[in-house]
Chain A
Amino acid sequence: MRTDVRFPARTSLAQILDVFERDPEFLSQVTHWERIPPKAPRYAPFPDWLDPRIARSLRARDIEALYSHQAAALNAAHAKKHVVVVTPTASGKTLCYDLPVLDAIAKDPSARALFLFPTKALAQDQLAELERLSTDMEIELKTFTYDGDTPPQARAAIRSAGHVVITNPDMLHTGILPHHTKWVKLFENLQYVVLDELHTYRGVFGSNVGNVLRRLRRICAFYGSHPTFILTSATIANPEELARRHVEEDVLVIDESGAPRGEKVIVFIQPPVVNAGLGIRRSALLTGRDIAATLLASGIQTIAFARSRVQTELLLTYLRARFPQPQWPPELIRGYRGGYLPSERRAIERGLRDGSVRGVVSTNALELGIDIGALQAAVLVGYPGTVASTWQQMGRAGRREDLSVAFLVATSSPTDQYIVQHPEFVLGRSPEAGLINPDNLHVLVGHLKCAAFELPFERTERFGTEDTQGVLSYLDEHGILHESDGRYHWSDQAFPAEAMSLRTASNDNVVIIDTTDGRTRVIGEVDRFAAPVLVHEQAIYLHESKQFQVEKLDWENAKAYLREVKVDYYTDAGLAVRIRVLADFATSTEKATRSHGEVLVSALATVYKKLTLYTHENVGWGKIHLPEQELQTTSFWLSLPERVTRAWPKERLEGALAGLGNLLHALAPLFLMCDPHDLGLAVEVRSPHTSLPTIFLFDMTPGGVGFSERLFRSTEPLLERAAEHLANCPCAEGCPSCVGPAYALGAKVKVGVAELLRQLA
């Protein structure tokens, strides 16, 4: 056998798993080893209404039938029923919407469809697929992507001639809806709207998208069309509810997949405790590195997911160090995340498909359906924050019908520890719900303005469930709308969609410029809210596993100037948070006093720490001088009754309150399907608002998307879950996996928190 240096062992995945399973040291870290058996396909015949060209060309590709869920989706769409398809990665979801659309256009060339994908990259992938299908089927079909990259001279043709327009919600919001008179052909003949990756339209983004869809439907009604929505989603607890909130009509759920599935092994890893006193476990990053390295060394194409940009870069550095040059050229293992330039990303995707890239370390940027072919193994360093993301990341391995494996390596964080101790949370029926709040006033009023810009409002018209009439007359009184003849007209010179981003509070990004050796090269960007923490002066910024130091941050002009450096530390910035309560929506004094309402959060990046690579020791610090960032949002807050804490010494109370805050903050995302950093935490020993020790859990997105109300309503199960987790944590005095490290919060923190929880129960 010829030995290829890049694939030294050429061991089969089954053999490697066998080795893992026999290794007692490895097994001691495994909390659960799940073997999901393969599943045979279930077929259904092509519907008899399907255009014969489509059936013929599918047969030419050796497709003699559809999977059962595809046929169900086709029949529903054909009957003009809105439908959401909830089946696993690689189950052929694309055909569920491509085929009805192709059929409609084959039968009536004036028919139109609009495809919405959450990102531009996904849109490009789908364009290629649809073009291939229509060419094979000899159906005259003009498909275009329409986004920020579309050349101006091509736009006129797309508007009038494009059968299928592929775009993203942001472009629909600023580029299409406010100019609907240029899209008359599209809106008059719109038969299908496709919304892929529905579960990504949650939180603030989802709340915005829900409103963009309301505007879309208003415009369709104006032109006399009533499109059918075809949606797809990863598995979540409430696909029907989420789809209905977006479509605002009944939506049929199809969640029985007929696609075959290869055998899949899922391993839950809990790295060992290395310092029992401090409750510190071995780094998930290093554990994940070891697993990934073993797989890569055996020639298994592997994807590793890390939770943040910084972690991605660190893991890439660690992994590359394991595979020295020249035997292993660095291009064999690549990093992938937002902030890399698009051309760089396309090259990595190609390399993964053709096998020249053997390993990739990614943020969740590769979680959605970007075509990177079928990998064999996935290593998740840290719980991705939601069960849906976990399945999507694990699904990047094993798209074909053969054996695949996914490792979920827990960090010390309480959520991660909870997940590996309760694998049924991931493996069982999905517990998490996609939440949106399109009626969040902050979001709603912005879109109501956009909608009025697009078409005047009838006085009786309803836009969302808020008091539409009340908002309209308010805007009329301020001269922004003008009421006349029973209709409200836009009466301002502004272009309201321009000023509103669907994804973040701030529209502007800070551009990152590499100035090493006198060059000026843009290497990435970060959004402004994250900038004070990531690119403050002296910060170490990692890009493609190279270290850069921020030499100058031009805050006004949103530019950070960096120079490449070689140091043995990274930086971690701290944030000081203050809370002012603006309105109290509801309060309950049953057991603990708890409320939810509107707050103003002021966040100030204060200091940064220098932490050594690998050992994370603190080796220095510095101050950050940047303006305070403000966030108006909704918050849940919980106050400790005076009778509980009156007798406690201040220091003990402080520690216990902080510990309880950490614990609740860590476990709350399990109920909310949000990423942990979507929720902010502030703890006040004597809150100016309540005059009591108070814990605030607030929505990190402006205006809030419903997290605080949900927490208010499910405080009891949250406290129960917290008490249970605390009792199960093996640490003695408190550790980062439960209430936070005892060395920082005081030796009695764990006991204190337990006491507080008992009092609150």
Chain B
Amino acid sequence: MRDLRARLDVLPLGCVTRPPAMRSDRPFEVIEQRIELSTLGLSVVGQSEPDARVMTHLGLNGASPSRWEDIVFLDTETTGLMGGTGTYVFLLGTAHIRDGELVLRQHLLHDLGSEAAFVAALREELAPFRACASYNGKCFDLPLLRTRFVMTLRSDLSVDESHLDLLHPARRLWRDRFGSTSLRQLEDSVLDIVREDDIPGALIPERYFRWLALRETGLIQPILDHNARDIVSLVRITDRIAQAVIDARAGRAPDHAPAAFALGKAFDRAGEHDIAYLCYESAYADADGELRIRVALPYAKALEVRGHGDRALRMVELLLELGLGTPRWRAQAEARVRRLARIMAKRCAPSKTSATRRTRSAAGSSPALS
């Protein structure tokens, strides 16, 4: 029998082999920075009391915190991108507001063997907060954190339920305009920031393992910087989204039609139909072509609810007469026209027949039966 080592040497290991990790004299470290809020150009976050309806709009489940100070912004860096129990969270960056400053704290794990102490510290860190905000945390950061909590402490996350995942409202507002809604894209397009020397996310796991082996600051610093920038951008994006919601509620719908439309739908879902109506109106006015067709039906419904059924009917009929829309849309539009015509007919009984006839011709169906 060959000796174990020789036999292992011929096996394909299927992993990047690298020098083993170097010992560290401490389990983890905490790096703290403070940034003056006034330097971040925020208009809502940390400025006025959080508005429960704005919070709902940002995707919060559960009770809204009464102070911005109760919200923790977070972003993790991990040892793998595929998840699973062997993927560690090695860096948790958090930010919260305290005394006019944004307090940025980074917990960096120095040794995988010290994870239990690290995770216990993370629990302490998150415990005081009522809610957390992240970018795509629902699918990525939080499941991973939860796994680490179960693995090391056999406990659950304290902030899990009250979670604002900014990815979804950001998508609503900006996907149509910018295509991608990656945090990087939004920094560039919404915040007008260009990152230089940023480490691509895909390289981070291997870079961290190399740092564990070599302990060279040059390996870990770019990851810390990357994480810090992500969190600051997260805070600023949150602010922009909240501002857009507040503006819309004040009658200033976004001037970009797809955003106005998306916001309108979100307001509808939140039961704020008046604001939804304003957003649809703005979107319909600014939209062109295909988007205008998509806005038309929700807008028509909003018009109808507000007692402008006649305007709604005229609008949809016009689009149908122009021959616009996909067959599926046209079927929906025709149903809407029939419904509107019925309502109009009920409202002014004497002109019943004419309304019905108009409907039929508009719908392009068979000649009148009578």
Contacts and interface: CB of A to CB of B under 8 A. Distances in A.
26 contacts: A178-B85, A178-B86, A179-B83, A179-B84, A180-B85, A181-B85, A181-B150, A441-B11, A453-B85, A453-B86, A455-B151, A456-B113, A471-B8, A474-B5, A478-B13, A478-B17, A479-B19, A482-B112, A484-B23, A489-B112, A492-B16, A493-B87, A493-B205, A498-B82, A499-B14, A586-B1
A482 B17 CA distance: 12
A184 B154 CA distance: 10
Nearest to A498: B82
Interface string A163-193: 0000000000000001111101000000000
Main secondary structure of the interface of B (DSSP, over half): loop
A496 interface: yes
Given A479-B20, A491-B21, A453 B206 contact: no
A482 B5 contact: no
A495 B112 contact: no
Q: Which of A179, A490, A598 has the most CB of B within 10 A?
A: A490
Contacts of A482: 20-21, 111-113, 212
Given A479-B209, A482-B112, A598 B7 contact: yes
Given A477-B20, A484-B112, A454 B10 contact: no
B3 to A, nearest CB: 9
A493 B79 contact: yes
Contact of A181 (B13, B82, B115, B146): B146
A446 B17 CA distance: 15
Contacts of A180: 85
Given A479-B209, A586-B1, A491 B84 contact: no
A492 B205 CA distance: 8
A632 interface: yes
Give 7 nearest A-B pairs by CB, closest first: A484-B113, A453-B86, A493-B205, A479-B18, A478-B17, A490-B86, A489-B112
B4 A467 contact: yes
B305 interface: no
B112 A493 contact: no
Contacts of A582: 10
A445 B20 contact: no
Given A181-B85, A492-B209, 17 more contacts: A178-B84, A179-B83, A180-B85, A449-B15, A470-B4, A474-B8, A478-B13, A479-B16, A479-B17, A479-B209, A479-B213, A483-B20, A483-B113, A491-B212, A493-B80, A493-B209, A585-B1
Interface residues of A, number: 49
B86 A495 contact: yes
B230 to A, nearest CB: 19
B81 interface: yes
Interface of A: 178-182, 184, 441-442, 445-446, 449, 452-456, 466-467, 470-471, 474-480, 482-485, 487, 489-499, 582-583, 585-586, 598, 632
A445 B7 CA distance: 11
A106 to B, nearest CB: 29
Given A453-B86, A484-B111, A494-B80, A476 B20 contact: yes
A490 B212 CA distance: 13
Contacts of B83: 179, 495
Given A478-B18, A490-B86, A492-B15, A441 B113 contact: no
B75 to A, nearest CB: 18
Q: Which of A445, A476, A497 has the most CB of B within 10 A?
A: A445
Contacts of B13: 445, 475, 478, 480
A586 B1 CA distance: 7
B6 interface: yes
Contacts of A455: 85, 151
B210 to A, nearest CB: 9
B26 interface: no
B147 interface: yes
Contacts of A490: 86
Interface string B14-35: 1111111101000000000000
Contacts, number: 128
A452 B84 CA distance: 12
Given A178-B84, A493-B80, A583-B6, A480 B15 contact: yes
A640 B80 CA distance: 54
B11 A493 contact: no
A471 B86 CA distance: 18
A415 to B, nearest CB: 32
B328 interface: no
Contacts of B111: 482, 484
Q: Which of B5, B21, B205 has the most CB of A within 10 A?
A: B21
Nearest to B16: A492
Given A441-B7, A476-B20, A494 B113 contact: no
B18 A494 contact: no
B82 A495 contact: yes
Contact of B11 (A442, A476, A489, A495): A442
B116 to A, nearest CB: 9
Nearest to B152: A456
Contacts of A454: 85-86
Contact of B150 (A184, A446, A495): A184
Nearest to B79: A493
A181 B81 CA distance: 17
Nearest to B14: A499
A99 B217 CA distance: 61
A536 to B, nearest CB: 27
A178 B151 CA distance: 12
Contacts of B20: 476-479, 482-483
Q: Which of A452, A467, A492 has the most CB of B within 10 A?
A: A492
A479 B85 contact: no
A187 to B, nearest CB: 10
Contacts of A479: 16-21, 209, 213
B213 A487 contact: no
Contacts of A442: 11
B29 to A, nearest CB: 16
Contact of B147 (A181, A478, A632): A181
A485 B150 contact: no
A495 B85 CA distance: 9
B81 A480 contact: no
Q: Which of A479, A491, A632 has the most CB of B within 10 A?
A: A491
Q: Which of B8, B14, B84, B88 has the most CB of A within 10 A?
A: B84
Contacts of B151: 181, 455
A482 B112 CA distance: 7
B114 interface: yes
Given A181-B151, A482-B113, A598-B7, A494 B84 contact: no
A490 B86 CA distance: 6
Contacts of B23: 484
A452 B19 contact: no
B113 A485 contact: yes
Q: Which of A467, A471, A482, A496 has the most CB of B within 10 A?
A: A482
Nearest to A177: B85
Contacts of B6: 583
B86 A487 contact: no
B289 to A, nearest CB: 34
A505 to B, nearest CB: 11
A583 B2 contact: yes
Given A455-B85, A470-B4, A480-B15, A632 B10 contact: yes
Nearest to A499: B14
Contacts of A585: 1-2
A501 to B, nearest CB: 13
Nearest to A703: B11
Interface in B31-88: 79-88
A456 B11 CA distance: 22
A474 B114 contact: no
A495 B209 CA distance: 15
Contacts of B147: 181-182
Contacts of B85: 178-181, 453-455
Contacts of B10: 582, 598, 632
Contacts of B1: 585-586
